[in-house]
Amino acid sequence: MAATIQQPLKVQCSPPSSFSISSSSSQTRLFSVSCCSITSPLTLVNGNVDQSRTEIRLGLPSKGRLATDALDLLKDCQLSVKQVNPRQYVAEIPQLSNLEVWFQRPKDIVRKLVSGDLDLGFVGLDTVSEFGQGNEDLILVHDALDFGDCRLSLAIPKYGIFENINSLKELAEMPHWTPERPLRVATGFTYLGPKFLKENGLKYVTFSAADGALEAAPAMGIADAIVDLVSSGTTLRENNLKEIDGGVVLESQAVFVASRKSLIKRKGVLDITHEMIERLEAHLRADGQFTVTANMRGNSAEDVAERILSQTSLSGLQGPTISPVFCKRDGRVSADYYAIVICVPKKALYKSVRQLRAIGGSGVLVSPLTYIFDEETPRWRQLLVELGL
């Protein structure tokens, strides 16, 4: 049976800084901090790293909004995940042969990509950055899947000594922070948090590692500030906390990430990645786009095109494609009018339809687009360049 071995946490700090991290558990542990990496767990079989498997493994979040949105996106790309039993951690995507889907905690997806137990994964950029820590084997295949949007941000109280502090620079210049009385920060991001504050000039800081309900820490007096994920900011405001200028550690959303070694060395991983990129890109490009078809009278296709492109709301859109519409009249076949097709974003849809009707368009039909395939997906070319292939 494979055994998971957690390597010791190794952190070092250059002498001028006074950073520390303590655990929120009953046993407190202090660490000095710098921007170094934490060794990830390795899956071992009889003492050796297992490289014998032939199946390709994709990691997906096991629960929460991120999990639901990932499954929905794959379904929209005609890559529905088939899970026989919702309690099982392994599933499949029938359209992709030899692929196993493993449901894991987001941080475990990153760790297992690094260790080689997974080949591909969907996870938030914040999780990749926190638990991957710049590992060169992790490669972002698609960095904008359009769900899971949030930001990792520093937040401080609106009251007390922080009432007039509105920027990270002002926070760093406060005379309150000394070796004896450092700024106390509660966070679950014990790599990104210390790294960010050190890079922004805060010399005297201690971090308490904590998960969940961090917004209560300043009011309870156990922290001066927090570093946590923020979506709308409502929870911060309801707990009398505020974000400050320059305090955003990372803008995050869901990404498609892969192991560089797997892409290069494991048979079939690159081919499956190519297909997934094609499907993802085609669907995401089409999202919010509509095909508008209308009939329009004109002396020629060029005459119709000139009228359409003279309209400000239609100029610059994809198209128009113009085709003659033939009919038989008095025994003769002729083109009395033309069918025009344009691609319109949702926000410009109604205005575009009004403009078409204003210049003689009739019988306007609107259909949502499902996919827009490029001749070649730019992200695929970028991936091959990054892999040196």
Shared-domain flag, residues 188 and 221 = yes
Shared-domain flag, residues 338 and 206 = no
Q: pLDDT > 90: what percent of the chain?
A: 63
Shared-domain flag, residues 134 and 261 = yes
- Rounded Cα distance, 127 and 255, in Å: 10
pLDDT score for 334: 76
Q: Across residues 235-244, what is the average pLDDT?
A: 96
pLDDT in tens, 159-194: 999 999 999 999 999 999 999 999 999 999 999 999
Enclosing H/E stretch for 366: strand 362-368
Choose between 87 and 290: higher pLDDT.
290
Q: Indicate the pLDDT class of residue 25, thresholds 50, 70 and 90.
A: very low
Q: Residue 151 contacts by C-beta under 8 Å, 6 or more apart in sequence?
A: 229, 230, 248, 249, 250, 251, 252
Q: Across residues 135-154, what is the average pLDDT?
A: 96
pLDDT score for 115: 94
Q: Indicate the pLDDT class of residue 360, thresholds 50, 70 and 90.
A: confident
Domain finish residue from 267, 285, 303: 285
Report if residue 5 sits inside a domain.
no
Q: Indicate the pLDDT class of residue 30, thresholds 50, 70 and 90.
A: very low
Q: Across residues 39-43, what is the average pLDDT?
A: 39
pLDDT score for 315: 60
Q: How far apart are the first and last CA of the chain?
A: 36
Choose between 182 and 83: higher pLDDT.
182
Q: Indicate the pLDDT class of residue 86, thresholds 50, 70 and 90.
A: confident
Report if residue 118 sits inside a domain.
yes
Q: Indicate the pLDDT class of residue 15, thresholds 50, 70 and 90.
A: very low
pLDDT tops 80 at residue 46: no
Report if residue 187 sits inside a domain.
yes
Shared-domain flag, residues 50 and 138 = yes
Give the SS3 label for residue 137.
coil
Shared-domain flag, residues 335 and 278 = no
pLDDT tops 60 at residue 9: no
pLDDT score for 376: 86
Q: Indicate the pLDDT class of residue 213, thresholds 50, 70 and 90.
A: confident
Q: Across residues 201-208, what is the average pLDDT?
A: 93
Report if residue 386 sits inside a domain.
no
Report if residue 378 sits inside a domain.
no
| CA neighbor of 272 nearest in space, from 148, 61, 92, 133 | 92
Choose between 178 and 17: higher pLDDT.
178
Shared-domain flag, residues 137 and 259 = yes
Shared-domain flag, residues 80 and 106 = yes
> Residue 352's domain is classified under what CATH number?
3.30.70.120
Report if residue 1 sits inside a domain.
no
pLDDT score for 45: 40
Report if residue 64 sits inside a domain.
yes
Shared-domain flag, residues 179 and 116 = no
- Rounded Cα distance, 153 and 133, in Å: 18
Number of domains in the chain: 3
Shared-domain flag, residues 240 and 257 = no
- Report the range of poorest mean pLDDT among 39-48, 149-158, 305-314: 39-48
Average pLDDT value over all residues in the chain = 85
Domain finish residue from 285, 304, 326: 285
Q: Residue 257 contacts by C-beta under 8 Å, 6 or more apart in sequence?
A: 110, 113, 120, 121, 122, 123, 128, 132, 138, 139, 140, 141
Residues of the domain holding 175: 150-252
Q: Indicate the pLDDT class of residue 297, thresholds 50, 70 and 90.
A: confident
Enclosing H/E stretch for 383: helix 378-387
Q: Across residues 190-210, what is the average pLDDT?
A: 93
Choose between 365 and 30: higher pLDDT.
365
Q: Indicate the pLDDT class of residue 359, thresholds 50, 70 and 90.
A: confident
CB 347 within 8 A of CB 264: no
- Rounded Cα distance, 121 and 138, in Å: 10
pLDDT in tens, 245-278: 999 999 999 999 999 999 999 999 999 999 999 9
pLDDT tops 50 at residue 137: yes
- Rounded Cα distance, 127 and 59, in Å: 13
Report if residue 383 sits inside a domain.
no
Shared-domain flag, residues 226 and 81 = no
Q: What is the pTM of this model?
A: 0.80
Q: Across residues 317-336, what is the average pLDDT?
A: 80
- Report the range of poorest mean pLDDT among 5-19, 177-191, 238-252, 339-353: 5-19
Write the DSSP symbol of residue 373: -
Shared-domain flag, residues 296 and 328 = yes
pLDDT score for 333: 82
- Report the range of poorest mean pLDDT among 179-188, 284-293, 304-313: 304-313
As beta bridge partners, residue 341 has 293, 321
Shared-domain flag, residues 188 and 234 = yes
> Residue 273's domain is classified under what CATH number?
3.40.190.10
